[in-house]
Structure 1
């Protein structure tokens, strides 16, 4: 019996195998979507809980169960982001208290990839939700069009068109960021004049 059929039947051993095989992939996908290690761990836990709850909807015939899991993880991550936004909205309305330095902030600041991740998240944020889902599954998690379509429950043609729109938007954004700001030019190797002090200007 295939692992799909065993998962569908609620076989605990099959779910253990599924977790061992796919947990890392789900975590990586969740981290790219959320940009947060803790949130990604929450997504993994909730994804497998949802997979157990929704196991009866899984088609017993087919290939890897990974696209199905990543589709669930995509929805879970979106719901967590919505909940986080609602929570942030509530915090904004509360009276402000003195900010206490958090060692975690200092630790995160030492990680080289943080700035890169922030830039990726900013670019990713210009896409519509449906485009984000397709981009994350196809580009970041490496699913093909058919697998992404299975994960999201949409036609393959819709996956193609959404991914095409997402790539075009990101290409335009990259082009705009490469363009120098208007009215500001700098010659390589000649940064001195740009950082002259006020005293030098008064001479």
Structure 2
């Protein structure tokens, strides 16, 4: 699970961002100032940092974090839209997002940074699976066996991999994989997911890789 260090002093914004990220499958540590940030940087995968903070501002904290751990991605948040502020932030940070922002955009930018900084970004470990993303080879780490998929199963699983940690609706999945509009009641997607689970899950009756999000759709998370 990806661990996010989120530093934001505004309670209302902080609450909904933390809830949204948690709902998407991230582990979130939320601080209202950067005073104790150095206690967490060695145990997190990404930092989301607001500029306007009590005490040391986000720019100072971000520079300190980067000095301590250069390979830790830092995403700055700010209501400031001036070019000078963006340039100052991007002078050390890896991305800069202005408020207000849509949670989907925040997540998308995070995922780009996580992929960029991933030490071996062509291999993912999801449960007992090892997924080689460049050639989509799927290995069962328990016995070293390669799991072979049909063309459509491959396309479906690849779509999940490209949208890790995101809850995907049936409509999104069907349109993304089949390229057609989903018709309510169509069982095609459900059947393909059942067959895909039979190949990749330890116990297809109790799936842990392709999660069912009741009333919404499905998710694959790491």
- Quick check: which has more Rg, 1 or 2? 1
Of Structure 1 and Structure 2, which has the larger fraction of its residues in helix?
1
Highest relative contact order (Cα 8 Å, sep 6+), 1 or 2? 1
Of Structure 1 and Structure 2, which has the larger fraction of its residues in strand?
2
Shorter-chain-normalised TM-score: which range? 0.3 to 0.5
